[in-house]
Structure 1
């Protein structure tokens, strides 16, 4: 082996560029090792020459793509193995704090409006600006959506609760403190159940229950807008907008389940009209507390939200989407594991997250209760909640999302879970009401005929979600119930089930109604000559034999391999060549099976 000693390592690169076939060394370059740095240990010149020639060989594109695909699969497999090994060694623990703006028109401690769409600093009372001498006036109406949320989240409502001051000095908080409920919140000891259809991680099984430590009322802060490099504008319209803060116990151990928890809580809050908007419009924000520890680690003296034995936590603030919740937890978990595996110590910090990033970033050291100097607010009396108010709210509370899922997948509607979930979530429940109206109208038209009503729920679900949904997407129209009245869609489905029209005709009529045709469905069918005039058996046979004669190879494949699934292609050919709206797919399929399989 040849050893090269140089005063400047960059000389190696220059030497290689000057000669691809051989390297020349001058004795003058070699001096005493004590005064130089050893840069490289190179193979003999002939081997280096061969390797350069080999690297210049042409590789066919197909072979190159195959190598890259194999390399990608190998990297993915290695990443999965690394993640699994990490999961076996390290336990992730997550607690969530959700801040949700309540559905109410007045602020928490002033009579100013809560609208945030007005011009900046127009919906502001003197107390919102901490004007000297101004006093808080608790607006009783703000309690109603908060109580609906707490009841829907299975909390124990406290008969007496109190407000506290949380001190910190920042430009979005003019008083120098935030009014909240730290010591005696109005709701405690709730829970939310997460199921596999909610999107929890596979390793968490079919169901997970996440306990809610408490729900507290508090006021929102001002909105800050940055204009780099040095300008920041403050809009006080948002100050004192009533919030609830929902604090879960640290019982979540997978990022996907954490995101599912936030998504489920948002759905529950929307179902009971506790909030007006969700994460997508800024009406709900989430902070996540993340810690890791080795699974075989004995419980220590440290404590995380009342649970002993967990690792040092960090808090990631102001996550504004479900994906951000999941991605930020993954990034922070990997960061903490990297620190611990290298022998470091995780510091208690408040960290931030930017969408599209791969790492969390430090914002500041983590504050504690001592730093905030919580103290009872001397200007606000205790909040007393009567049992009669709770009883009235419980009686008027809408059906929970979980109960709706049970109803839709149950014997009355028999919907698959893949259709039940979107019906509940779309358009704040309006799509579900529309679906139920269509089902009821079809049943009234058919007199609950058991032969027609067997899969009525599934049939209507398919038309509401998929057929009508596809048309809306194609036309780039937002769904509104008035576009296709429930009565019209019900009549189309009834005509189809009564075999008075075919499936393609039903889609044509639906498109006509969507595009503004106001005629009753029956009149439209008659005037446009769309009612089904059934083909005779002889006409079906003629159409089938024509399609068969033109595709003998496919016919032989069906016969020899019993590939009945390919009959659908022949059915499509018969519907295209036959008179429009007269070929029924089921009858066409029966004739094709008879002609192809019996010969």
Structure 2
């Protein structure tokens, strides 16, 4: 087969433009204005004749016009905004609009962590070939019947307990009717009238990222949690073709419906983020927003605060399928501003479903808003009621472990971590990063001969927890760089179990670093050596010994000699210190001092220098030698 040039592949993948020669141009058919839906994964002989053809757009892009990358589009938008004289509003300044009140309700769909689908024994594998995990009922084959899988209740109940919901002893399934190619039966099985959990709540704090206007905390009510089945995965192809993968049909979901009690965009994003963290902490959710395991729909309405709205909420518009925390906040801001502008111009907000795209500045209309009558809800005649025993609820409640708020408090109080670092550890890699941190910390404490901090001990009561903060910093930042690079090289999350850097080896590096036996630069090189396989697991100390990497700090005289070399010719910088000493400047020129220290570290043997010692010696030489010398010259 002839090798296809990269430029041709790029035109095909990004714009749908097909070459006129070679295998891609072998089939040519007349373009139809109707879109084609194809079931991905079927063999060529299994596809209907009309689905075997390759579609060619009626007006393909010019051959010499390359596609514009999204990043370049965003930069051009920023330049256009700057040229127009408008200033980009910071999100912290864009949480409210004077004279208007925003109200938001959220519906979150999360894939449950189960081995089987909701109503069939097919596996819920997301790594298999398209359409390889499909049962007869998933495809709505005539005569097939739904068979409820009781094991799907376990993560669902755990999620409801984490959200402080009341578990209903009896719940029932309903049919929600709509017609779309991703739902072969023509209806979705859900729990509309009698869900399995009701009346929950979630409390958000400033550390969760809520808007400053919400104060010290805000509690959002959870109306209900309901179990339902997912739809097929649709992948858009060039030429208005849609590929369908029915592996996702029937995957068990929970839909979390909040009360309309959110009034700021940042708080809405914080709620979605915290719910994802809660679901991960109780092992209820397969994956997060970043990998498609959790999606959010937001209902947005506005009303005037001058009393003209008579206390009624405004007409709401729903924004569907938001797939990131940033998208939640940005879409709410854009839709709020659209509705306000429409009402101020004398228009009327229509109840409709709208969409949002990455990099957009406004939402777009998708369709009119369906209501209860449109969906024709009815009890599913093929499924009996679901009965949840109190013993199961008590057992799951007692075995859930520590919830995120309690764990964040523990990390802050026992180990002195900041709330930002504690939350980051818990959010990254669906909770695997925090587990890795604990493994590193346990091993590090053993190597340093430290006693394990009890749960009742606070950071104020212990002598030193700098080793815990050191471990957290390296697990978040230095290890994060390694994982990010390896994922980029291998096209996936190949390092999410951190097997490339075992916890025992990172603890060995940090133990030497904490004792100041090696420098941070050497520690970083050892980390990268482990990740590339250049250093075998368990050989960290031997590598330091063989390569002569032990830290041997230079003498005081050598520090002073470096100071003299760096300060030579820096009279202009030293003048700032003279001004401070003479009272002409109120603030000590710390920035100038650190500039000179940085020059010292770059000039001298960095692997044998301590930045704190370098700063101490430089400060002393400035005060005792350089400043008096400069004053004598004047």
Q: TM-score range by the shorter chain?
A: 0.7 to 0.9
Partner of 1:496: 513
1:6-45 matches, cutoff 5 A: none
Among candidates 129, 132, 137, match of residue 127 of structure 1? 137
Are 1:274 and 2:284 counterparts?
Answer: yes
Contact 1:558-1:564 at 8 Å conserved across structures:
no
1:458 Cα offset (Å): 1.7
Among candidates 293, 305, 314, match of residue 295 of structure 1? 305
Give the structure-1-normalised TM-score: 0.79
Q: Secondary structure in 2 aligned to 1:501?
A: coil
Contact 2:139-2:185 at 8 Å conserved across structures:
yes
Partner of 2:256: 246
Partner of 2:552: 533
Are 1:139 and 2:139 counterparts?
Answer: no
Residues 33-86 of structure 1 show CA distances to partners (whole Å, capped at 9, x for unaligned) of xxxxxxxxxxxxxxxxxxxxxxxxxxxxxxxxxxx9998796329x789x9797
Distance (Å, rounded) in 1 between the aligned partners of 2:548 and 2:463 = 25
1:159 Cα offset (Å): 1.0
Distance 1:76 1:572, change over 3 A: closer
Partner of 2:450: 448
Query: Where does structure 1 lack aligned partners over 5 or more consecutive residues?
Result: 1-67, 301-307
Q: Secondary structure in 2 aligned to 1:87?
A: coil
Partner of 2:577: 558
Partner of 1:542: 561
Partner of 2:343: 340
Among candidates 381, 384, 387, match of residue 384 of structure 1? 387
Are 1:458 and 2:476 counterparts?
Answer: no
1:184 Cα offset (Å): 0.9
1:557 Cα offset (Å): 2.9
Task: Compare CA radii of gyration and give the structure with the larger one.
Answer: 1
1:445-524 matches, cutoff 5 A: 445-448=447-450, 453-470=464-481, 478=495, 480-515=497-532, 516-518=534-536, 520-524=539-543
Distance (Å, rounded) in 1 between the aligned partners of 2:95 and 2:411 = 40
Are 1:318 and 2:321 counterparts?
Answer: yes
Q: Secondary structure in 2 aligned to 1:75?
A: coil
Q: Secondary structure in 2 aligned to 1:190?
A: strand
Partner of 2:423: 421
Contact 1:128-1:239 at 8 Å conserved across structures:
yes
Distance 1:453 1:379, change over 3 A: same
Residues 229-277 of structure 1 show CA distances to partners (whole Å, capped at 9, x for unaligned) of 6655544332222111110100111222222222221222222221212
Distance (Å, rounded) in 2 between the aligned partners of 1:274 and 1:160 = 21
Q: Secondary structure in 2 aligned to 1:581?
A: helix
Distance 1:224 1:504, change over 3 A: closer
Give the structure-2-normalised TM-score: 0.75
Q: CA RMSD in A?
A: 3.2
Distance (Å, rounded) in 1 between the aligned partners of 2:327 and 2:400 = 31
Distance 1:76 1:564, change over 3 A: closer
Residues 566-596 of structure 1 show CA distances to partners (whole Å, capped at 9, x for unaligned) of 3334434444444563333323332222222
Q: Secondary structure in 2 aligned to 1:212?
A: strand
Contact 2:287-2:430 at 8 Å conserved across structures:
no
1:436 Cα offset (Å): 2.1
Residues 317-344 of structure 1 show CA distances to partners (whole Å, capped at 9, x for unaligned) of 2222323322322232222222322223
1:134-213 matches, cutoff 5 A: 134-213=144-223
Q: Secondary structure in 1 aligned to 2:86?
A: helix
Among candidates 427, 433, 437, match of residue 435 of structure 2? 433
1:402 Cα offset (Å): 1.9
